[in-house]
Amino acid sequence: MKRFLSLLVVAILAGIFTLGTYKMFLEPEATVVNESEAKPNLTPVNYTLTNTNASASVSGIDFTTAAEKTVNAVVHVKQYGITRTPRNLMEFFRNGGAQERRIQGAGSGVIITEDGYIVTNNHVIDGATDLEITLNNNKSYKAKVVGTAPQSDIALIKIDAEEKLSYIPFGDSNSAKIGEWVLAVGNPFNLTSTVTAGIISAKSRDLDESDNKAQSFIQTDAAINPGNSGGALVNVRGELIGINTAITSQTGSYVGYAFAVPSNNAKKIIDDIIEFGGVQRGILGITGGTINPKAMETYGISTSQGVVVASVADDSGAKKAGLLEGDVIKEIDGLPIRKFSDLTGYVNSKRPKDVINVRVLRKNKELVLPVTLSKYEIQRYKINDVGVEVANPRKDYLKKFDLDHGVVISKALSSRMKRYNLEGLIISEIDGKKVKSVIEVKEIIESKYKDEDITISLVDRNGQKREFVFQ
């Protein structure tokens, strides 16, 4: 009995010692929060990140319906092409130059009609000699290119399937709101039929204000990675509101910023390609920019948002409607215009001869001016890397060469090219693509990477077609 009591006392003392040691040295110090400084309803970050769907469900949003509606209409695009680039210096010296090698790239595409029209990014299919489309049911088809718009990075391709295909209907990207839930559907890293969720982070995003391509992207934080290009950005109703196009990342992978071409712009380009064979671009006929402190001082503007008109082109729709230098464009067809990319994004969804209502602020008075959009046309374009200027030819001139497409060389620019008497010859293709106008030439050339070769198909005065590669 004595031995038992001794052991019990030792056990109790050991417990007290252990508890005291923990309280004194190991227990974390309590944090005192002042009542007035406390922030109510704080949720731990790790909780929100680990259960995004739970938070969406609480808000009454269900992603499953949109995913089921769209996943079968997003396809895997594989493109095959030929490159002449040597893999290393040894190959270059051994073979006396570059060797042709077959290359493969991959991306995504969106079926937009049940008979097989598919929209994707131009950079996904650019340079392809063959295109292979794989559906979500693993069936594969060869595809043909219907038309491209390199400046907007949109391409339309077509497959011939035996059955009617699932497709995604177009939504109204102008009605999409910042903070709205969206899904990105595509094939990142060749992981087919991948769906990620996020919100619209911004609209009318211009990634490079110095760029003359008039970008106007939807920004989202839905995860988009290489291979998602050309895939679908859809709302919770399963409507297509964007074509996923680019990410901004120092690593090349998703870091929280992704960008999509708005569906209204993509649809307009597709309709133009089908109806006219190329993009019909309407313009206001102004130069200008987003209001900044310098513009406010120069033009005596009191508002801080909008587009200030710097000049108005003669014979343009803007000139005929009465727009003046110093006017501030605040709205178009009821759509608020806060920056220049808002304006270009909306106008690029319209065609020549469309009438838009432009609300302007002029000397603190608001006016609504109906403007008929002009057709964007350039008559001449300098291909500096080739050393020639090209122009739109007359149709009867093309007939002399038995052609229904092409542009004419109007001038040799470099001393080297001036030796060859090129004026009047026809360029029928660039990089294997038929060219029908100076605008198409401009779009192809300006979509190329720096130092990338340019392949010109030239029709000589005897009607013979010859191919030249310019480095």
Position of tokens 């050991």? 14
13: Cα within 13 Å, side-chain hemisphere? 6
Q: What is the DSSP letter of 316?
A: S
- At residue 57, φ and ψ (nearest 5 deg) are -65, -35
Whole-number Å distance between alpha carbons of 253 and 249? 6
- The closest alpha carbon to 391, from 422, 351, 421, 414, belongs to 422
- Catalytic residue selected from 152, 201, 216, 229: 229
Structure tokens belonging to residue 86: 């040597």
- At residue 131, φ and ψ (nearest 5 deg) are -125, 130
Structure tokens belonging to residue 417: 């090219």
User: For 49-64, what is the HEC assignment?
Assistant: HHCHHHHHHHCCCCCH
- Catalytic residue selected from 153, 272, 327, 431: 153
Establish whether 229 is a catalytic residue: yes
Whole-number Å distance between alpha carbons of 205 and 191? 28
For 418, residues 6+ apart whose C-beta sits below 8 A from its C-beta are 412
For 303, residues 6+ apart whose C-beta sits below 8 A from its C-beta are 291, 328, 330, 361
- At residue 399, φ and ψ (nearest 5 deg) are -65, -25
Whole-number Å distance between alpha carbons of 325 and 20? 81
3-state helix, strand, coil in the chain (%, to 5): 25, 35, 40
| First-last CA distance in the chain | 102
Establish whether 76 is a catalytic residue: no
* Residues noted as catalytic: 123, 153, 229
